[in-house]
Structure 1
Amino acid sequence: MGAIVAITLTFSSCSLISFNHNAIKVNESNKQLVQVQAPAKIPTTKEIVDTLASNEFEGRFIGSKGNEKAGQYISKIFKDMELKPLFGDTYYDGYLQEISKQYGDGQFESFEAYKENTRVSTVNNVIGVIKGKDSKKAVIVSAHFDHLGDVDGKIIRGALDNASGVSALIKIANTLQEKSTEKSFDEDIIFCAFNGEEEALAGSRAFVDEIKSKKLYDSIYNINIDSIGAKDGGNLALKNMSKVSNKLYDAVKTTLKNDNIGFADTRVKGAGDHLSFENAGISNVFFVQEGIEKLVHKPTDTPDILDYNQIDKIANSISNFIQENNGVVFND
């Protein structure tokens, strides 16, 4: 659970004193070293982005050591927050992934060249859950943590894409976990740090297939966060392109308006993990910024381009939405 704090206390009498539910035994000199369990410190939004975008994490390309370290880092935070694993006794949820030597290596001259440069390996999503009263209903909050790695000798750090989303995911999880200690939610709240988004949404597709094949839930919806908080990114692009999510989008927009979060009826090019839910007929909403096309997949996608207060505001609004809509089923 975190660090052990040493405290020296001096007492004039009594040999046994209760302090924060811990027994404290006073020695002959009336001085005793007391051990008090301190709660684990959850990293700030900026600390998370700085870590995921650092040299150590190598751009988080899937199958790389940096990608594995990112999964370990997120898993440790989930453990410190005391989230429950969704599957078994680990936050890791493995699936098979085709891995090339580098992002964009899909253009091979021949099938033989493809085989030489590609392997199939088991990689992990990182999944945690706050258990609610009704184990057949769930909201799934997701953000991908993989990125492009080293391209042409330069690390593509992916601060905006998508360390920003992961930092928001963790802030939401921490906020709602603290709320759940006061009163249980009416549904499970699942937090998915997906792998393989940059490789055809592989991690989220594997997860959706798994929860559907195991018939874990009768009712679920997805909130996917990908590339938010850029200083020059504009408003959230909240155009509803889904065929199954009208009620969910309307409810989300109501909360954003109440929280003074700017959004526009625009869309961005490209795919995101919400599409894995869309293709399975599951309601989903996509949190992404308007102007990301000019900012992502470049060496300049570094932590200094982000507004961390804005990321926190969006994360707080998503937390508010989940609390305000506790147990609500969003089916069109």
Structure 2
Amino acid sequence: MSSRKAWGLVAILGVVALVFGGILLSLDRDAAEPSLVQYNAQYIDAGAMLRLTETLSSDALEGRATGSRGNEAARDFIQKRFETLGLRQFGDTYFQPFTATPVVQGGAPVSGVNVVGWIAGQTPGDGPAMVITAHYDHLGIVDGEIYNGADDNASGVAALVAVAQYFTLHRPRHDMIFAVVDAEEIGHLGSNAFVASPPVPLERIALNINYDMVSRSDAGEIYVAGTFHTPELKPIVETVATEAPVRVLVGHDDPALGEADDWTLLSDHEPFHEAGIPFLYFGVENHPAYHQPTDDYTDITPDFFARAGDTLVMAAIAADDALEAIEVMRRAD
């Protein structure tokens, strides 16, 4: 793929306006040719999910690095989707700003913004709640090339929105919080900020489900990490796996595997885990485009992504049904 040089400020603002203007008018139209998605999704709007992934990973957003104009544009677009779905706010805004020092870069603190909304469940408001997370930042521009991060993690954000849309139409049993977090790539700063200052008491959060890279698998496989640390979650995952339209594999969460293959501390579920909250992390294995400028929308596998989207809804339904038991188990530990 040819090198893509960074655009000037005027150009990016103009293109972002054009992209957003067109996309806002066509959110509900299919984003891919029918030949790219043979699967007939049962739970999600596959076209809208693909369209959002394409938008967030476009050159116009210049890789969505924390603090950049592209990151801000992505954040505003996610906010618009939350508004369209009618997600509730905590207070009078979806935005939860934070300031933190990057772990992997060091140096001066950076400012980021999480986008958080929620759906009220059918059970009393002080009962257990579930938090679904996905990070919207990526690497930005490196050596003059745009790192678009289509799979990492425009796909996870689009999947989160698709799952949220399902539950706006099918009210969950328990409160569901949807947190699209910032600054994952520089040390999980957004998710750490969320756990440090949660919008509900931390003891209410019975489970975190995290999406990070869910759109690209030629083998049709998605991994679920977390059951090694909380074996009681394994039956839930195994039940979903029997009916899921993709192959669901359990693993990548045993410290004995070593740092590269143990994903326990490698994404936004890490702060929840450190706080003693069970997690399920859904993601594909690394592929050649991981953290490369070739992680583009044109190279995801749309049919797999649509199947994965349905699978994520199925897993959230199963977790919602079991949330009281998960809470009891957590308190017993």
- TM-score surpassing 0.5? yes
**Which structure shows the bigger proportion of residues in helix conformation?**
2
For 1:121 and 1:40, how far apart are their aligned partners in 2? Answer: 34
The residue correspondences of 1:1-332 to structure 2 (distance < 5 A) are 41-42=27-28, 44-85=48-89, 87-98=90-101, 105-106=105-106, 114=107, 118=108, 120-132=109-121, 133-136=123-126, 137-180=128-171, 185-211=172-198, 215=201, 217-232=203-218, 235-240=221-226, 242-243=228-229, 245-267=230-252, 268=261, 271-290=266-285, 292-324=286-318, 325-326=320-321, 328-329=323-324, 330=326, 331=329
Is the contact between residue 138 and residue 187 of structure 1 (CA under 8 Å) also seen in structure 2? yes
CA distance in 2, matches of 1:233, 1:157: 23
Cα–Cα, structure 1 residues 263 and 96, in superposed 2: closer, same or farther, change >3 Å? same
Partners of 1:40 and 1:153 lie apart in 2 by 31
SS where residue 113 of structure 2 aligns?
strand
Q: Secondary structure at the match of 2:291?
A: coil
- Gap runs ≥5 in structure 1: 1-38, 107-113
1:230, CA displacement in angstroms?
0.8
Asked if 1 retains the 8 angstrom alpha-carbon contact of 2:226 and 2:278, the reply is no
Partner of 1:33: none
Q: Which amino acid aligns with 1:230?
A: R
Quote the offset at 1:219 in angstroms.
Answer: 4.3
Q: In structure 2, how many angstroms separate the alpha carbons of the residues matched to 1:256 and 1:175? A: 20
Cα 1:266–1:221 shift into 2, 3 Å: closer
Query: What percent identity do the matched residue pairs reach?
Result: 30
Aligned residue identity for 1:81: L
CA contact (8 A) 1:222 1:285 kept: yes
> Per-residue deviation at 1:147?
0.4
As a proportion of its length, which structure holds more strand? 1
Distance across 2 between alignment mates of 1:318 and 1:209: 26
Between Structure 1 and Structure 2, whose CA radius of gyration is higher? Answer: 1
C-alpha distance in structure 2 between counterparts of 1:209 and 1:228, whole Å: 27
Give the Cα separation in 2 of the matches to 1:82 and 1:256: 31
Partner secondary structure for residue 139 of structure 1: strand
The TM-score, its normalising length taken from structure 1, stands at 0.75
Deviations 1:229-265 (A, max 9, x none): 214365222354652x222233023112222420334
Task: Provide TM-score, normalisation by structure 2.
Answer: 0.75
Distance across 1 between alignment mates of 2:27 and 2:187: 35
Aligned length: 272
Distance 1:289 1:283 in 2: 20
